[in-house]
Structure 1
Amino acid sequence: MRTRLKGINTVRAKLADGTEATYYYHRATGTRLVGHPGTPEFLASFQSAARSAAQDRGAGTISWLIRQYQASGQFTNLADSTQEIAKLNLKAVEDKWGATPLEHAQAQRTRPLFLRWHDKLAEAHPRAADAKLAALARVLSWGVDRGHITNNPIATFERAYRADRAEMIWLPEHVTAFEEAASPELRLALMLALHTGQRQADLLALPWSAYDGKAITLRQGKNRRAVYVPATTALRTALDAAPRRATTILVTDRGTSWKKRNFHEHWSEATKAAGITVDLHFHDLRGTAVTMLAEAGCTVPEIATITGHSQAHAQKILDRYLARTRSLAEAAIVKLEGHHRNRKLQNALQNGSKAST
């Protein structure tokens, strides 16, 4: 069945040899369309012209700049899940600021307007407010790089949501408790996370083809960074013993690949069953892997090569971890010295009691 397309101008012309030719044009852009109506070539030509018209609509506004950004490789190369979240945030930006001329958007005097919008949103949803303003800032920065504007007035801003989990580490007792309570499928997920330092989304999608018996090779979904992780002896043993029931390494107890929400529910249940009362998440295993590598003597550049962190972020995790372990050590010494003082006092009282008798 032929799809009826709207917005096409048909022009018939008589050629020099006396024959008649028919030409088709996209009405909004004046673009001549290739092929004949009903053919895939014609449909592709029409869709290309329509996209061009959409991008040109509202030229010189924030809406126009958002469309240019979303059509760029910087956006299309992002993971599908990242694009989906970004589109939601950019839709909110466009609803509020889409008609704003770029001349005003790039002016430094506009910064207070953007920040007041952010502050108003943050009263109810601070994390969402940060995400929306960050999305606008990202588009404006892209616009500066491409020469569409000359300034990004919100290149930096103070975030409303503060949650630094760099110091949240799975300690050996947490790992042991989880392994005792979790299913074999979740224990393998724990092993992969601890021994590779990769994100949950990448591990859930990791295919068996990424493992060659010696190492795991993958391209991270968030930043498209290629990572090569030699497998530890323990990880090789676990992977070699695991049944290959699907294309992905990690599967449910029914042998099907995990869905994000389903995995989260099962992981939370296992954490609760393990009696882990500390606010630990699966993502914290990534930071735990960084500290394990550091304790094994790896340098920050070596750690970043394996986990895919930036060196600055890897160093930040280590700084937080060391600060935590120092405070724990200091608290332990205070308790030890207090114990020694109590013992001395008890001995002195006992000796004094014996002397009086």
Structure 2
Amino acid sequence: MALPKGVHRVRRRLANGRSRFHFYAWRGGPSFWVDDIREPKDPDFYVAFAEAMERPQPKSVLTPSLVDWFLSSAARAKSSRSFADQRKWLLRFAEHFHDAPAVIFEERGSRGEVNKWRARWKHSPKQHDMAGTHAVRLLNWAVEEGHLAEHHCHKLPRLYKVDRSEVVWTAADRAAVNAIAPEWVQRLLCVACETGLRPGDLIKLTRASVEETPRGRRLRVRTNKRGRTAHIPITPALAQVIDATPGGQMLILTNASGNQLTEHRASEGLRQWRDKAGLSGNLRLQDCRGTAATRLLSAGLSLSQIASHMGWSLRHAANVIEHYARVSPDETDAVLEKLAKAKGGAS
């Protein structure tokens, strides 16, 4: 029995030498069947083909529709903040290409058009790059879903380049803030430096995150950005903060009134007291992660575990820890010795 008219069949060789056939509703269209048989006889094959053919062909899809489908799909950003950013940029993309069929992105010239669009934010390298990041994510999804056969916007050049591996909160920096800041800021700075969690995860920490272990306690946290579960040792400094939390209060970190913090208030609160302490304006709440990486190494985590928790490469994690040790003489010998062993174990 011949294949239905228009079906595009692709043969792929497996590692064991056998062949597997992937079937697409049309060339560049959605995949609807995978089989070891070159010409499937299964009735479900024809049902799947009919369902795939009901999906709109690329040339009939306008860019705003593509954006709407993506924002309604399971591929959209999971956290509310990430989704808000994604939606903002993709609606801007849809507005700019409001009358353009999605199929234009299969043409090489579309790369230049996307670069022209994001050049509207060339005054702000971070926004310029963010625009491109979201546009490429949309187009990648469109190819995967069969709405486009291909696109030419991979690896768009970036304007924003920064290496913050040498920006860390030293013990002296923390002491300067703690000497003048209110208790809620001191607690925030301590937990950030001991856990390495992002602001969005810090403000949601509760007593329920604390778990007993055979050797002590740890925090079990499902992170917002990657949806992974992180297990973080509770260091003595972190234990003091947790144990000092009022008995009837579930949240470990709150604002001055005892209410839940927002990411913005957490970052701004620390920034204000950083400035009052006369510290570098380059220090941010997120830079506590470098200090935390060192703490976690000292607490017994491997370099690969730290890198995974932070979302860093092994090299970046090692660079951050090494820099922290260099600028914190009281810890240099012990930290560098552990780092050397960790590098050896990770190689």
Q: Same fold (TM over 0.5)?
A: yes
CA distance in 2, matches of 1:272, 1:190: 14
Specify whether residues 75 and 188 from structure 1 end up closer, same or farther in structure 2 by C-alpha distance, changes over 3 A only.
Answer: same
Residue 142 of structure 2: aligned partner: 143
Residue 64 of structure 2: aligned partner: 63
Specify whether residues 302 and 262 from structure 1 end up closer, same or farther in structure 2 by C-alpha distance, changes over 3 A only.
Answer: closer
Give the drift of 1:304.
Answer: 2.9
Give the drift of 1:111.
Answer: 0.9
Residue 109 of structure 1: aligned partner: 109
Residue 311 of structure 2: aligned partner: 309
- Checking the alignment, whether the CA contact within 8 Å between 2:142 and 2:148 is kept in structure 1 is yes
Pairs within 5 Å for 1:1-357:
59-75=60-76, 78-122=78-122, 124-212=123-211, 214-244=217-247, 246-277=249-280, 279-294=282-297, 298-305=301-308, 307-310=309-312, 312=313, 314-319=314-319, 322=322
1:2-24 residue CA offsets vs partner (Å, 9 max, x unmatched): xxxxxxxxxxxxxxxxxxxxxxx
CA distance in 1, matches of 2:269, 2:323: 32
TM-score if structure 1 supplies the norm length?
0.68
- Give 5+ residue unaligned stretches, structure 2: 1-55, 330-347
Please tell me the residue identity of whatever aligns with 1:74.
A
CA distance in 2, matches of 1:200, 1:104: 40
Query: Number of residue pairs matched?
Result: 270
Give the drift of 1:179.
Answer: 1.7
- Tell me which protein shows more helix as a share of its residues: 1
CA distance in 2, matches of 1:95, 1:87: 12
- Checking the alignment, whether the CA contact within 8 Å between 1:166 and 1:316 is kept in structure 2 is yes
RMSD: 2.8
Give the drift of 1:245.
Answer: 5.2
If you compute each CA radius of gyration, which structure gives the higher value, 1 or 2? Answer: 1
Between 90-99 and 318-327, report the one with greater CA deviation: 318-327
Please tell me the residue identity of whatever aligns with 1:130.
D
Give the drift of 1:103.
Answer: 1.8
Give the drift of 1:288.
Answer: 2.2
Specify whether residues 121 and 210 from structure 1 end up closer, same or farther in structure 2 by C-alpha distance, changes over 3 A only.
Answer: same
Please tell me the residue identity of whatever aligns with 1:279.
N
- Checking the alignment, whether the CA contact within 8 Å between 1:170 and 1:285 is kept in structure 2 is yes
CA distance in 2, matches of 1:129, 1:158: 10
Give the drift of 1:105.
Answer: 1.1
Please tell me the residue identity of whatever aligns with 2:168.
I
Specify whether residues 207 and 154 from structure 1 end up closer, same or farther in structure 2 by C-alpha distance, changes over 3 A only.
Answer: same
Residue 49 of structure 1: aligned partner: none
Give the drift of 1:110.
Answer: 1.4
- Checking the alignment, whether the CA contact within 8 Å between 1:227 and 1:308 is kept in structure 2 is no
- Checking the alignment, whether the CA contact within 8 Å between 1:168 and 1:287 is kept in structure 2 is yes
Give the drift of 1:60.
Answer: 1.6
Residue 5 of structure 1: aligned partner: none
Specify whether residues 216 and 298 from structure 1 end up closer, same or farther in structure 2 by C-alpha distance, changes over 3 A only.
Answer: closer
CA distance in 2, matches of 1:323, 1:209: 34
